[in-house]
Structure 1
Amino acid sequence: MAETSSKKPGFFTKVKNWFKGIGKYFRDTRSELKKVVWPSKKQVINNTIVVIVVVLIASVFILLLDMLFGSGMSLILDLAAKL
Structure 2
Amino acid sequence: MFEKVKSFLEEVKAEMKKVVWPKKREIVTATIAVIVFSFVVSVLLGLLDFIFSYGLEKLFK
Q: TM-score range by the shorter chain?
A: 0.7 to 0.9
Which runs of structure 1 show a deviation greater than 6 angstroms over 4 or more consecutive aligned residues? none
Q: How far 1:27 moved relative to its partner?
A: 1.7
One-letter identity of the residue aligned with 1:33: M
Report which of the two structures shows the higher radius of gyration computed on alpha carbons: 1
Over the matched positions of the two proteins, sequence identity in percent amounts to 34
Q: TM-score, normalized by length of structure 2?
A: 0.81
* Structure 1: stretches of 5+ with no match in the other structure: 1-16, 79-83
Richer in helix (by share) = 2
Q: TM-score, normalized by length of structure 1?
A: 0.63
* Structure 2: stretches of 5+ with no match in the other structure: none
CA shift in 2, pair 1:63/1:20, >3 Å: same
- How large is the Cα RMSD of the aligned pairs? 1.4
Aligned positions, number: 61
Asked if 1:29 corresponds to 2:12, the answer is: yes
Residues 8-39 of structure 1: CA distance to partner in whole angstroms, max 9, x if unpaired? xxxxxxxxx3x333222222221111111111
- Corresponding residue number in structure 2 for 1:57: 40
